[in-house]
Amino acid sequence: MDYVSWEDPVMQEEIFGPVFPVISYTDYDEMLRKIIDGEKPLAAYLFTKNEEEKDKFLSFVSFGGDASMIL
C-alpha cells in the first residue's frame, strides 16, 4: 500500500495478511519519534543505504523481528 499516512485506518490496528503499508518520510528524526511513541511493531522494515540511519533505527526502535529485516 502506498500513499499511507500515520492517520489512515490501516495504521490504527494490527495488520495481517499480505498487506505492507509504506510510509515515506522527509524528516528522519520525526519518523523515528512516531515509531517510538507508538506501540511496539511486530516487524519493521527500513529501506535505506545510509548506515547512520540504519544504526540509529536499530538503536532506538524496538520491534518483534530481528535486524535482518533492515534493508
Using a 10 angstrom Cβ sphere, with 0-12 exposed, 13-18 middle and 19 or more buried, the burial of residue 34 is: middle
Q: Is residue 62 domain-resident?
A: yes
Q: Is residue 39 domain-resident?
A: yes
Per-residue model confidence as pLDDT tens digits over 3-14:
898 899 988 888
Give the span between the Cα atoms of 4 and 61, in whole angstroms.
20
The answer to whether 40 and 14 have CB atoms below 8 angstroms apart is no
Domain with 65 in it: 25-69
Q: Is residue 54 domain-resident?
A: yes
pLDDT band per the 50, 70, 90 thresholds, residue 65: low
Q: Is residue 17 domain-resident?
A: no
What pLDDT is attached to residue 33? 94
pLDDT band per the 50, 70, 90 thresholds, residue 66: low
Per-residue model confidence as pLDDT tens digits over 14-40:
888 788 888 888 999 999 999 999 888
Angle 43-11-54 (CA atoms, 0-180°, nearest 5)? 40
* Count of domains forming the chain: 1
